[in-house]
């Protein structure tokens, strides 16, 4: 495996701090982080809302390079990606911090962490890729918190993964500025973008972000890159689950992205600052799926519930049940190695490279020995 060129060290910083290219100086002496629309404007020693990007000297630095909140091998369907190397294992990890402030965050202990002890694991990019290869993974996923905030580490790990013959996956909210977006996704093979709702009001009040930026990211990925893209919307009772909003989201996807982009509706459970909201009823997910299918979307899935019909991939030409899933277990697989329906030969959109994997629903935490961090 080829060695990666180390990133320049930051004078006076520890081994986990690297410089970034996404910042600009302001007339008042502050430095503005330009990785996302939040545009944190920092004085010496201050950290951005994400916590892991900070000002040091005349630049914005990433303080979590090579550090993680933990590593785990998951089924790729857990990302969720249903049309990307089905059934295969993916080495998944995140760091700490996030550039959104969602009141319902399901990974708040990681994404909202302000304790560096959360980052108890560490691995350089080459070691991480070699470990994923040795353990039989087909890809590496940047998840649990948003790779936007640890862009430099994610990009280097993705490059090391590709050098090892693996693929790279970003699981993101898509809240990122155009230059950083181009940089991050130039290293990725697949993405699941969390479309949290379809109103600016929800994004402003509940996620403290903006819908328009996320839609721009989706259009960029689908129309200007080769990154395989799927979408997830977590349906929260009383907040983003009305028929009208689901129909508007589905219609926008069909018109602006195309009917073949997979959409996942997943169930909310009470967490973080929205513990007073009830869990999503399974009937809500089935209703949302029907609305999206009626809007012309061809691949609509339900998640976080037991719903075999809502988790099955069907050939849109002949109606054959191509991939029958029970949660993350594949019970039937009728797709050719090159990604065609075995019954009628129709192409199935996605990335299919050989037969389905057999990793199943298991989740396997792992430890990676990393006595030192070699930076890029």
Tens of pLDDT, residue by residue over 34-88, are 999 999 999 999 999 999 999 999 999 999 999 887 899 999 999 999 999 999 9
Work out the pLDDT band at 103, boundaries 50, 70, 90.
confident
Domain boundaries 68-364, corresponding CATH code: 3.20.20.70
Instruction: Give the integer Cα–Cα distance in Å for 124 and 129.
Output: 9
Query: What pLDDT does residue 121 have?
Result: 67
Q: Where are the domains of the chain?
A: 18-62, 68-364
Write out the E strands in 135-294: 139-142, 167-172, 190-194, 228-235, 263-267
Query: What pLDDT does residue 117 have?
Result: 46
pTM metric for this prediction:
0.94
Work out the pLDDT band at 173, boundaries 50, 70, 90.
very high
Query: What digits encode the pLDDT tens for the residues 234-289?
Result: 999 999 999 999 999 999 999 999 999 999 999 998 876 678 889 999 999 999 99
How many CB atoms are closer than 10 A to CB 243? 10
Query: What pLDDT does residue 110 have?
Result: 53
Percent of the chain with pLDDT over 70: 92
Q: Is 339 exposed, middle or buried (0-12, 13-18, 19+ CB in 10 A)?
A: middle
User: Taking the C-alpha atoms of 20, 76, 224 and 313 in order, what is their torsion angle to the nearest 10 degrees?
Assistant: -160
């Amino acid at each position: 495996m080829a060695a990666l060129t180390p990133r320049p060290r930051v004078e006076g910083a520890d081994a986990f701090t690297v410089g970034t290219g996404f910042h600009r100086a302001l007339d008042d002496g502050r430095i503005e982080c330009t990785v996302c629309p939040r545009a944190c404007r920092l004085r010496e020693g201050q950290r951005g809302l994400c916590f892991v990007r900070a000002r040091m000297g005349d630049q914005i630095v990433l303080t979590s390079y090579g550090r993680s909140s933990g590593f785990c091998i998951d089924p790729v369907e857990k990302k969720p990606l249903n049309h990307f190397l089905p059934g295969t294992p993916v080495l998944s990890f995140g760091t700490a911090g996030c550039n959104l402030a969602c009141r319902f965050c399901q990974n708040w202990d990681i994404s909202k962490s302000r304790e560096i002890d959360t980052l108890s694991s560490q691995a350089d990019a080459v070691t991480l890729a070699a470990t994923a290869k040795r353990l039989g993974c087909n890809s590496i996923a940047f998840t649990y918190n948003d790779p936007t905030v640890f862009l430099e580490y994610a990009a280097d790990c993705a490059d090391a993964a590709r050098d090892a013959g693996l693929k790279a996956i970003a699981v993101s909210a898509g809240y990122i500025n155009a230059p950083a977006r181009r940089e991050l996704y130039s290293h990725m093979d697949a993405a699941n973008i969390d479309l949290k709702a379809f109103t600016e009001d929800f994004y402003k009040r509940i996620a403290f972000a903006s819908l328009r930026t996320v839609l721009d990211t989706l259009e960029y990925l689908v129309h200007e890159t080769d990154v395989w893209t799927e979408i997830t919307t977590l349906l929260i009772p009383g907040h983003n689950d009305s028929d009208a909003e689901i129909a508007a989201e589905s219609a926008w996807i069909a018109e602006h992205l195309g009917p073949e982009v997979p959409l996942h509706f997943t169930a909310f459970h009470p967490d973080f600052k929205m513990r007073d909201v009830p869990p999503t009823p399974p009937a809500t997910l089935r209703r949302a799926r029907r609305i999206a299918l009626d809007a012309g979307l061809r691949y609509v899935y339900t998640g976080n519930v037991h719903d075999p019909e809502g988790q099955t991939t069907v050939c849109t030409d002949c109606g054959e049940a191509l991939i029958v899933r029970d949660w993350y277990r594949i019970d039937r697989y009728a797709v050719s190695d090159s990604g065609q329906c075995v019954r009628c030969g129709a192409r199935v959109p996605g990335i299919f490279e050989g037969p389905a994997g057999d990793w199943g629903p298991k989740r396997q935490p792992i430890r990676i020995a990393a006595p030192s961090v070699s930076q890029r």
